[in-house]
Structure formats: C-alpha cells, structure tokens
A and B are shown apart, each in its own frame.
Chain A
Amino acid sequence: MDETNLIPDRIAATLRQFPPFSMLPPETITDLAQSAHVRVLVAGETVWHQGDPPGEDLYVLVRGRIEYHITNDEQTEMVAVRDEGDLLGLTPLLRSHPARTTAKVVEDSVLYGLPWRGLQRLLSTSDDARHYVNRHLFWTTRLGGEVNSLPAVESEGITSRAKNILQAHLVGGRVIQPRSPDRLLTCTPETSIHDAARVMARRRVPSVLVVDPAGHPLGIVTQSGIVKQVVAGELPRESPVKEVMASPVITVSALSSATAAILLMLRERIGQVCVTEDGTPDSPALDVFTNKDLLAQSGHHPAGLLREFRHARTVARLRELCDEVEKITGSYLDAGVSAIFLGQICAELYDELIQRLLELTTLEMKDTGVPLPSVPWAWISVGSDGRREQTLRTDMDNALIFGAAENAEEDEKNRHVFLQFTNAVVAKMVECGFARCQGGVMASNPRWCQTDQEWLDEIKEIGTSTEPDPLFRGIVLYDMRFISGDPTIVRPVRQAIIDSVRSNSWLQRRLAELVVETPPPLNFWGKFVVENRGDHEGEFDLKGRALAPLRDAGRLLALKHNQLRRYSTGGRWEDIRRNVPALEEMAKVAREAYDVLLSLRLQTAIARQNSGRFVDPSALSKLEKARLAHAFDVVRMVQTHVRLAFNLESR
C-alpha cells in the first residue's frame, strides 16, 4: 500500500466535487492538491480583515460558513455569505488589492488554500472554469465594485461544445437505409456523357453511378465532373463516361451510421457516397446518397425535420413532427447548446410549420368555395414567438395584417373571410400542440386581425394613451416578425411602431419603468428570495423576475439605439454589444445571463412538463445556483443602467 499521495488524492477528490475544479482536467487538480495548505478555523475567528493584503493562496471553503462584512464609518454590514464549495479571496488576488471585506467564520470551517499562481494558469486554459470564476466575481457589483475578468489564453474555442452537439446527434443517430433498388441510376463505362447527362436531368439527380456487369461500382459521374471536363474543358460530349467519372468510388455499407457517412463525405470532400452490400467497391451497389439525403435521414437533425415539415400532408403528421422538435430540444439542451441558439432553430422549424398550415388552410378554403380575398395579407408572429424564443410549444402569439380595401364595408367583408381563415389555422396549431394565447393574442381574434390602416391608426394611439392596455399591445407588437404572405405590407407597420417609440421619450420612460419594476429574486446577501404567497410559494418567478427585465431592457435599448436588424433578445443584445460601444460590456454579460436563464427555464419546463416559469431554488445544483446568482446580478446592473439612462427616480 503506497500512501505517498493519500492526502493530496483525498483533497483532490473533495475539490473535484466543486466548480470550477469539476471543470478542470482531473490530473491537474491532483497536482494542485499536492501543494495545498489546509486550515481549520472555528466560529468567531476571522480569515482576513478588511484592508489585509492578499496572500499567495486562494481558499476553497470545504466545510462551514463564512460571512463577508464591510465596515464603513464604524457601521458594519454583512455583504455576502460563503458556504461549502465556494471560493474565498478571489477578488483581492485578482486585483492585487487589499481585501475590501472582513471574512468572519460563523460555522467551524475547513479551508483548502491553493497556490493562486498555479490555479491562475490552469484557469486561463479552461473556458468553462474561467467563465465560472468570472461569474463568481460578479458579486462585488453588489458593493458597487468593478469587475475584472480573468483573461483567456487563446481565443474562445468551440471544440468542446462542438463535440457535445455531435454527441447529441449520435444519440438520435440513425443508420443508412438504402431505398428501393430501381431508384438507383446506373450506366456502363461506355455510355456517352451526353446520355448520362440527359438521364440525370430527367431524373433530377446530381450523379449517375458507373457499374460493371455484376453491378459493382466502378466510378461516379457527377454534375461538377461534367461541368469541369465537358462544359469548361475540351472533352466532346459524345465521349464515354469513363473519361469523366470519379474513381474509385467512396463506399459505405448499409446500416452504418448516417452521421458517420456525412463526416466521411466532408473529409473526402465528396457530394455523394455509394452504399454497397458489404461496404467495399467489390460488391453490388445498392444506393447513392447525397449529403442532403443523409441529413434528412439522420433523424434528430433539424435539417431532416425541416424537410419533413415541408412534405407533411396532414395535421396529425405535423403534430408528430412538433413532438420530435421538442425531443431534439431536450437532447440539445443536455448537450449544453445555447438556449438562444436553440430558440432560433425552433423558430425556423415552427415558421415552416405555420407556413405549411397556411398553405393547407388556403387550399381547404379554396375547396370549400370561399377563396381568400384578393388583397395582400401577411401572417406575423408577435411576442415571444416574434422574438424567436418559442422553443417549446407554450402559447401562440400571432396576428394578421391585410391590405385595406376601398371602403370600410369592403374591409369588414374581407375581415370576415380572413377570420374564417385564421380560425382554421389557429385550430390546426392547437391540434399541433400549441396552447391558445391566454391574453387572446391570436390572429383569430378580430383585434389581432386588422387592415394595415387600422394597425397604423392604433400604433399612433399607443404613444399618447395612458391606459395600460394599449401599452401592453404595443409591447407585444414591438416584437413583430413577418412569417408568411406579403412582406411589403408588414414593413410600414413595423417602421411605424419603431418610430412611435423613438420619437416619444415619454413612452420610452414608461417602457423603462417596466424594466425596473421587478427586482431580481436575490437580496443583497446573495440569497434567493422566493415567492411568499400563492401556488408557487417557496419558488421564484424566473420569467417575471429575471427574463422579463432583461428582455424588456434589450428591446428598449435596441429601439433607443436603432439596432433593429434582429428580432430575438439574444440577437438584440449581440447587436448592441457590437454597435453601441458604451454598452459593450453590459450587453455582453446581459446576453450571457439571458442565455443561462432561458436554458434553466427550458430545463425546468422539460422536467416538469409546464412553462418552466417557476423554479425551486433548493432543487438547483451548486453550479446552477452560482450561475443564477450571477444572472441576477446582471439583471440588477441592467436595471440600474436603465434607471440612469431614462432618468427614472432611484427607488
């Protein structure tokens, strides 16, 4: 029994339970533990005093509880609490500044001191661990302190994440299934290029397989080969295909992984892969797949689903596809894909769904003898749908704009037909699993099915009305996004909405008030404040308290700074970060925080099969808690900015 490393191994095992150490390579933690300094302090002692210079070590609190106190003008107040797994003394070390707080032990504590230099080097090489530490640092903003982030060694890599996305695909990965053999297009080596090209054109395929009498693949004739050799080159089109075919043929066997085949094609830089009986060119060819075919076959891939949506003929099939989207969302979320990014993927898919539903309904109307009026119309998404955040089928938010006719009478007649249309579409959406909007924000509601003129008149009113209802309608409309129909009819309406806010500072202030209305569920001491009444007692309202302020602030600042290219909250913050230098840092952390919050909401929603609006803090892991606490600090920071920028009185 060799006990040389017994102590550091045990220390390392303890450290690895906690972030950021859990995110670093295990062997580096063992190295770090070799030079640990272990301290034991009892309740009533102090780890350091306000004004003490930083030492050499960063402390990890392994057991116990420590409070940070600040003394100003003989007034002492507690500003933060650290418990098991927290890092101590990071800020002074990072800044080489004396401690701003006094760290008091309130429960007997065991501390592992780790050499800061070694740790700093480690952190600079791990993105995840560094981001965790950077978030951890954020609590000092509660003291009005500035934040110094740890720098990265190299540019932010996506390798670790990409691996996870790949894994997500492999989980749902399917095998290649050859289609019926008569689908396969073949010719002999002696066939003329012209004949081969004619067949390709007729069958609308990008290649012909050249086979020997036994059906073994010899080569493949592709469009690009013909273009290169015949169209751009000197080869006459009467020459045999063996002159232009690519050979040997890259082959895979049936029942191999579709994803692996795609990777093979990427690596070989080819557009087609041939499936043979045993996977080698020395057996009969079964099918030829393009990368598009494979994407569509690889199951959990969004590209495959998009195609399926396009080809679905019944609402029942569309419903199945929606369920599939939700499954993909779950596996992507597990793989750590950004929730903002997921929202974009889902928006594309759901847009395709609505497009398809509109097509189906248009046909139905025509069949029943009530065709749509001949005025231009457009289906638009508003609210969360408009912001591309409808990752799960929560409730729908949509509206219809149609062109005004000569007179009001004609408008009413058109509205009557359009309402029939929208009611049918909404009913189909409900069949697909979307809930009807509680607030009635649906194109089937006459108030959300209006002519462009009516919309413009209403928008004018939002700017001057003091009632809450028009303001609510306005907010929903600020996020409008064109889905289908005639885009030209939407543009003037959207422009009118934007102008109505930009020229109206009174309206801006009202919107700003909404942003700061709800404080984040984190008190000054970094503890979660939970709802204390109603069904959700003991939980906190993630949507109302954290997502909403960031979302509203993003919208307001995007309007103010004229960053209107993007529709999603994530995209808005991204654009603000790039184009408004004064807000760069804030927009960056706001986007990250929004992403974290959105992911958490989605995870809760999937786990609990509801909207994910309420979160139980005791159900969160240490890491999630830390992320959330950071996100709330960001919310507070954004709210403070909005308060100053829009001259709201501090409260």
Chain B
Amino acid sequence: MFGWGRRKNEPEFVRNYCASTGRKFDRKRSFGEIPFVALDAETTGFDINKDRLLSIGIVPLNQGALDVANRQTWLVQQAASPNNEAVKIHGIAPSESAKGIPEAQVLEELLAAISGKVIVGHHIGFDAEIIGNGLRRNFGIKFRNRMIDTSMMAMRHLDAFHRTGYANQRPPGLDEVCVHAGLPVLGRHTASGDAFTTGQLFLWICGRLRVRYGRQLVAGDLLK
C-alpha cells in the first residue's frame, strides 16, 4: 500500500512517518488546525552534497502559539565534523559534536516529532536537503513534509522584500526580516534559537496576512 519499490522490512517509525506525512493537504483547513513546527538545523558547511547535520531544533506551533514546553533540540554526533569557517558561526566545535547523539537516532526521533506536520523554516530548502540526505542514507526514504519558507513568505508578502527584478536579489535573511518586523531575535545561530525566532516571524507574517485579507487564514493561503 505504500507505493512502488518500498522494502517490506522497513522499521515501524519509518512506516508511520511515510503513512502520515504527505504532500496532500486540504486547502480549506483552518490555520488553527494545521500542525506547524518551526525547524532550524546547523550544519558542518554549506555544500549540500558534502556537509552533514550538527544540530536540529524544533518548536511546535499550535493554535497560533509557539509551544515552548514541547520544543526539542538534538546535538548530532558527526565523526568527521570539520573545524572550518562554519564553526565560527554556529560554535559547535568537533569536540562538542563528539558528545552528541548518533545521526540515525536523531533522525528517528525527529521523524516522530515532525510526522504529519508542516515545517516552517527560514531558508528551509537547504536544511531540508541536508536532512533529506541523512534520511536517504540512513533509512532510504525522502523528506516528505510540506514546508513553508519564511524568507519566501517575506518576499511574497512584505513590500520591503518584494522581488525587484534585480538579478542578484536573494531571499532576505532572518535578521533582516526580524529587524523589519520589530521582533526580538533569540539566540541567533543556535538551532533552537533560530527555530524559535523563525516561529515568531511566521506568526507575525500570518498576522499581517490575516489583517490584509480581513479573515482567518486557511491552508490554501500558505501552501500552494
């Protein structure tokens, strides 16, 4: 029932994840009923093909509020964690990474936490690729969650970040948008801090949309 080419002896958590997480979403589903989870990951570098996960932070968003009690954060053990430029940003040294949890276990716990949820992240595409690579390596599956990128939302919905047609324009960074929104930034360049800040930003943009549309939001407003 899981489509083609699926191995029969997959672990149960992988099956559960695949069964409950899909691309289909009822476009009329109201905002308050959509289970969002803000996510951010720190990685060993910026090469999708080479670099690995160092830490992941998630904060669930239920009924329009960040649920601090159910936040989760993982420090990933990476044997080959390089001591490079990225370390200066996220501050996770190789020795620190060695204290973490093995990647396979982190991903197993992550799947349980994000199963069936909509991921909210800033520049989420990169994080999703890295997590996806990990999932493929460890369990042979894809990253299946629907995703919302707050930097893309900012470009689409905020005048200050609209596409200008300028060739080198990039989606705005988390700091930039938060400064524009007047939101407090919490623990930048830590996975859980960025996840939290991204969650706040997401709520703020959704608030903007609600006021602009003069109604509550539905899934169709956020997921194309």
Contacts and interface: CB of A to CB of B under 8 A. Distances in A.
Interface of A: 1-4, 6-8, 10-11, 14, 33-45, 62-63, 108, 110, 113
Contact of A44 (B59, B68, B187, B211): B211
B178 to A, nearest CB: 11
A89 B187 CA distance: 29
B92 A1 contact: yes
B211 A45 contact: yes
Interface of B: 55, 57, 59, 64-69, 71, 73, 75, 91-92, 96, 181-184, 186-187, 190-193, 196, 199-200, 203-204, 207-208, 210-211
A38 B184 contact: no
A645 B67 CA distance: 52
Contacts of B204: 40, 42, 108
B207 A42 contact: yes
Given A1-B190, A38-B200, A42-B208, A7 B68 contact: yes
A42 B57 CA distance: 26
Contacts of A44: 211
Contacts of B55: 3
Contacts of A2: 75
A3 B57 contact: yes
Contacts of B71: 7
Q: Is the interface of A mostly helix, strand, loop or mixed?
A: mixed
Given A39-B65, A39-B203, A7 B183 contact: no
Given A38-B65, A40-B204, A63 B92 contact: no
B70 to A, nearest CB: 9
Contacts of B182: 63, 108
10 contacts: A1-B190, A6-B186, A36-B68, A37-B67, A37-B68, A39-B64, A39-B203, A42-B210, A44-B211, A63-B182
A271 B91 CA distance: 64
B192 A3 contact: yes
Which 10 A-B residue pairings sit nearest by Cβ, starting from the closest? A42-B207, A40-B203, A38-B66, A37-B65, A44-B211, A35-B69, A36-B68, A40-B204, A39-B65, A3-B192
Given A1-B190, A3-B192, A40-B183, 15 more contacts: A1-B96, A2-B75, A3-B75, A6-B73, A7-B68, A7-B193, A7-B196, A35-B69, A36-B68, A39-B66, A39-B203, A41-B203, A42-B208, A62-B184, A108-B207
Given A42-B211, A44-B211, A110 B67 contact: no
Contacts of A35: 68-69
B48 to A, nearest CB: 24
A51 B205 CA distance: 28
Contact of A113 (B65, B187, B191): B65
A39 B210 CA distance: 14
Contacts of A110: 183-184, 200
B73 A11 contact: no
B92 to A, nearest CB: 7
B107 to A, nearest CB: 18
B175 to A, nearest CB: 16
A26 to B, nearest CB: 17
Contact of B207 (A8, A38, A41): A41
Given A38-B199, A62-B184, A3 B193 contact: yes
Given A38-B199, A42-B204, A43-B211, A10 B68 contact: no
Nearest to A35: B69
B210 A33 contact: no
Given A1-B96, A42-B207, A6 B192 contact: yes
B65 A10 contact: no
A14 B204 CA distance: 19
A1 B93 CA distance: 9
Contacts of A45: 207, 210-211
B183 A10 contact: no
Contacts of B183: 40, 63, 110
A36 B64 CA distance: 13
Nearest to A105: B207
B4 to A, nearest CB: 40
Nearest to A107: B182
Contact of A3 (B73, B181, B200, B210): B73
Contacts of B186: 6-7, 10
A3 B193 CA distance: 8
A8 B68 contact: yes
A55 to B, nearest CB: 10
Contact of B187 (A6, A14, A38, A39): A6
A39 to B, nearest CB: 5
A15 to B, nearest CB: 12
Contact of B68 (A1, A3, A38): A38
Nearest to B55: A3
Pick from A2, A35, A38, A108 the residue with the most CB of B within 10 Å.
A38
A6 B190 contact: yes
A578 B48 CA distance: 77
Contacts of A40: 183, 200, 203-204, 207
B3 to A, nearest CB: 37
A37 B200 CA distance: 11
Contacts of B200: 38, 40, 110
B187 A3 contact: yes
Contacts of B211: 42-45
Given A38-B199, A42-B211, A110-B184, A3 B190 contact: yes
Contacts of A108: 181-182, 204, 207
A300 to B, nearest CB: 44
A33 to B, nearest CB: 7
A59 to B, nearest CB: 10
A11 B57 contact: no
A43 to B, nearest CB: 7
A63 B185 CA distance: 12
Which of A3, A11, A110 counts the most chain B CB atoms within 10 A? Answer: A3
A365 B192 CA distance: 84
A8 B211 CA distance: 30
A6 B192 CA distance: 7
